Amino acid sequence: MKRGLVIGYGNSLRADDGVGWHAAMRFASDARFADVDVVARQQLTPELAVDVSSARAVVLVDARMSGGAPGSIGVHPVTPRASASKMSHHMDPSGLIGLAQELYGHAPSAWVVSVCGESFEEGEKLSSAAAAALPGVADEVARLLSEHPNA
Amino acid sequence: MSRDLIIDPVTRIEGHAKITIQLDDDGNVEDAHFHVTQFRGFEKICDGRPIHEMPSLMARICGICPVSHLVASAKACDEILAVEPPPTGVDLRRLINLAQVAQSHALSFFHLSSPDLLFGFDADADGRHLMGVYQENPQLARDGIAVRRFGQQIIESVGGKRIHPSWVVPGGVDAPLTAEKRDEILAGLPEAKAAVERTLDWYKTSLVRWEEEAAAFGDFPTAYMGLVSPEGNAEYYDGALRVMGSDGSMLADLDDPRPYWQYLGEAVEPWSFLKTAYWKELGYPEGVYRVGPLARAIVADRFGTSRADEELEEFRSRVGRVPSSSFHYHYARLIEITHSLEMIEVLLNREFILSPNVRARAAVNRREGIGIAEAPRGTLIHHYQVDDQGTVEWANLLIATGHNNMAMNKGVLQVAKRYVKGDRLEEPMLNRVEAVIRCYDPCLSCSTHAIGQMPLQVRLVSADGSVLHELTR
């Protein structure tokens, strides 16, 4: 079983909505994530449940639309939930971790690291606030994985 | 007083559409229309773009089958450059297109249609969805995930991106295949094959349950169209375009299908942004034909790989040589996944698949190019005209869903006539009207993300425009 899995997701064509995607791309050159699987996705899909089920710990990086100043970073644990959404287009972190348990028998410890976005308009660039948050996001993800090596 | 029943939006399809069912004075179904309500305008977007941008730009037509548009576009660009891609470049284009077929068919069968097939068309919509499948039949769910994931992994591995890869370029592909990637794909094949075998067994065992639906789901005679190889095998990249009549007669076997305007017409109706293609010889609207997995299983003599050909033989013994029901798209889709996986293995084991010679380079040498390939849903035709510098001056696209447009409308009408009774809308009727559309797996555009819920809204509207009955789920 692998040590950790990081899933950065969001629409990179919608400015700060893609902050998770940008974070995952950035992790590729960060030595702290050398033995961690890092994937960048537009959205969460059922196929990710396979990867989730084979990881000891999972960190999902996403944008949030409110709940703090632009660029503020939040961390919260994910509670697995049995399948609730009717459509694969609307899978959320709890549903994904729950699906891993339901279909593959293992729900790893999981957290969401979120960044409060400033702009969700069309565009490939992050706002300055979201871009400035990326180093902090990397620190939080690294901390979670190192504090829970056997989660 | 005539009235309209409106299903808006149609759910579990790729894109946005609605269905209107028109009732006559006696409350009987008079007509039905499948409306595509989104406008993309890709042919106009192409104007003024440099030719080398076209494959990547065209891939943006769709988030589900971008690779097939990429391939058809690159072939049109090959013509404009007047180049012949190296054989390994062609094989690698074939490889990624077959991976596209496998993953897209898996999405259609497992994610979109399996809830209807597993629970039945009369089941409550609250449980008849993808998550319900996960709970009711976890093995089917795992198999669906495995097949789609495998196809996506191939596309990401060789193309660099899971969605909208830009690896297929005019003249071939951008980089050769590495031994590591080849071996990784080969290692994943047995699991994917086993998943499809289990699903085929399940589907065939269950086929008897849907005899009634099969008899009403777009069950009418039409022609069928698809690419075939010189040996008569189903083709996805190149070859002759074969058109077979509903009685099995050969309407055309076009060795050079590029002058498509000679045999296909394009019509526009005021109630839809989707243009309608028709077989010119039969005229409009009589020239109905179907494309996609069912069409390919019919027009081809065989698939050309062992397991797929065994399954095709059984398919023909069960549903006939030229089945008329659109319901059998599902069955054909599963056989095509089998064939795609087999062909991927064949291609990867070819002697020169790791050759570094994968791309021919040239400047603009022609003012016009046409590329034809098979997408998961059917035949794609990309046609461009450029100036001397290679700037696109005009583009025309004929996509699979446009070929199937008339057949989908006929299918909706047939199902509505059979299941719509009176002026009340009942769930099982709605399910079937939507499900007949899903047989074709129409790809109206998946390049935008849905925000929030996608409710099914159904309205019964009187001739004076007042809403008589409305349902939302």
Question: Cβ contact (<8 Å) for B130 and A87?
Answer: yes
Question: Cβ contact (<8 Å) for B138 and A102?
Answer: yes
Question: Taking CB atoms and an 8 Å cutoff, what residues of chain A touch B142?
Answer: 103-104
- SS3 for B6? strand
User: Quick check: B297 and B309 in contact, CB under 8 A?
Assistant: no
Q: What is the pLDDT of residues B71-101, one digit of tens each?
A: 999 999 999 999 999 999 999 999 999 999 9
Residue in chain A closest to B162 (alpha carbons) equals: A41
- Say if strands A55-64 and A109-116 run parallel, antiparallel, or are unpaired: parallel
What is the rounded CA–CA span in Å between residue B176 and residue B92? Answer: 8
Residue in chain A closest to B446 (alpha carbons) equals: A89
Sorted by where each begins, the domain ranges of chain A are: 2-147
* H or E, element range at B256: none
Question: Cβ contact (<8 Å) for B134 and A83?
Answer: yes
* CATH 3.40.50.1450 is right for the domain spanning A2-147: yes
Sign of CA dihedral B102, B287, B69, B447: negative
pLDDT per residue of chain B (473 residues) written in tens, 0 to 9 = 566 666 666 655 555 667 788 887 777 888 888 877 666 678 888 899 999 999 988 887 776 788 999 999 999 999 999 999 999 999 999 999 999 999 999 999 998 889 889 998 888 777 777 788 888 999 999 999 999 999 999 999 998 866 677 899 999 999 999 999 999 999 999 999 999 999 999 999 988 888 888 888 889 999 999 999 999 999 999 999 999 999 999 999 999 999 999 999 998 877 777 788 999 999 999 999 999 999 999 999 999 999 999 999 999 999 999 999 999 999 999 999 999 999 999 999 999 999 999 999 999 999 999 999 999 999 999 999 999 999 999 999 998 988 999 999 999 889 888 887 776 667 777 778 888 888 988 776 422 222 333 333 444 454 555 555 555 54
Quote the distance between the C-alpha of residue B458 and its chain's center. 26
Domains recognised in chain B with CATH numbers: 3-38+407-472 (no CATH), 84-219+325-354 (1.10.645.10)
Residue A93 has phi, psi (to 5 degrees) of -55, -45
What is the rounded CA–CA span in Å between residue A34 and residue B435? Answer: 46
Q: CA triplet B54, B92, B391: central angle to 5 degrees?
A: 15
Residue in chain A closest to B454 (alpha carbons) equals: A87
A11, A42, A83: residue with CB nearest B131: A83
| Distance from the B112 Cα atom to the nearest Cα atom in chain A, whole angstroms | 9
Tokens of residue B8, six digits: 């808006």
Residues forming a β-bridge with B23: B3, B29
Whether the full predicted model's pTM is greater than 0.80, yes or no, is yes
How many residues are recorded in chain A? 151
User: Quick check: B21 and B38 in contact, CB under 8 A?
Assistant: no
B130, B145, B148: residue with CB nearest A86: B130
